[in-house]
């Protein structure tokens, strides 16, 4: 990928920045400038939360050129909580653990590399939502003596 092309997509790839239609309020990702719902201009940037759930998924055993190192890998359609579907790889999860409806969240990872001297393209992938860590009081510190 040419560096300018990777740079041009930085807001979408790194921040999952979509657009909101000022006409009907539809939230769009990827950005498409004309709202598919009401055909009016939709050029106001709108960052998406990155939270959603798995709509469908598959495991790629025969990768295209440039993705051989990662295969087999999981790609999915994610239904974002704001509405849009997005195509992305799943990460930090095995194929046997994924299910339709699984809650996932966006993370930033390497999408692909082009040899030793090429651009390393970063972008969004999705992982299962991490459980919130609950801080418990230490049992070795009794309140009373």
The Cα–Cα gap between 24 and 74 comes to 34
Fill in the per-residue mask, 76 to 95: x = in contact with another protein (CB under 8 A), - = not in contact.
xx------xxxxxx-----x
Least CB distance from residue 129 to another protein, whole Å?
20
Pairing, β 51-60 against β 33-34: unpaired
112 lines the binding site for another protein (CB under 8 A): yes
Among 26, 52, 57, 106, binds another protein (CB under 8 A): 57
35 lines the binding site for another protein (CB under 8 A): no
Q: CB within 8 A of 86, min separation 6: which ones?
A: 16, 29, 30, 52, 77, 78, 80, 124
Other CB atoms within 10 Å distance of the CB of residue 2: 9
Binding site residues, another protein, CB under 8 A: 1, 9, 12, 30, 32, 36, 55-68, 70, 73, 75-77, 84-89, 95, 100, 111-112, 121, 123, 125
């Amino acid at each position: 990928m040419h560096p300018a092309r990777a740079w041009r997509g930085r807001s979408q790839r790194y921040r999952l920045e979509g657009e909101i239609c000022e006409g009907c309020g539809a939230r769009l990702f990827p950005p498409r400038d004309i709202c598919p719902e009401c055909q009016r201009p939709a050029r106001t940037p709108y960052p998406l939360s990155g939270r959603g759930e798995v709509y469908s998924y598959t495991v790629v055993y025969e990768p295209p050129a440039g993705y051989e190192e990662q295969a087999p890998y999981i790609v999915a359609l994610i239904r974002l909580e704001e509405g849009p579907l997005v195509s992305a790889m799943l990460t930090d999860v095995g194929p046997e653990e994924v299910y339709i409806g699984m809650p996932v969240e966006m993370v930033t990872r390497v999408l692909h590399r082009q040899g030793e001297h090429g651009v390393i393209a970063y972008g969004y992938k999705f992982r299962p939502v991490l459980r919130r860590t609950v801080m418990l009081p230490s049992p070795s510190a009794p309140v009373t003596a």
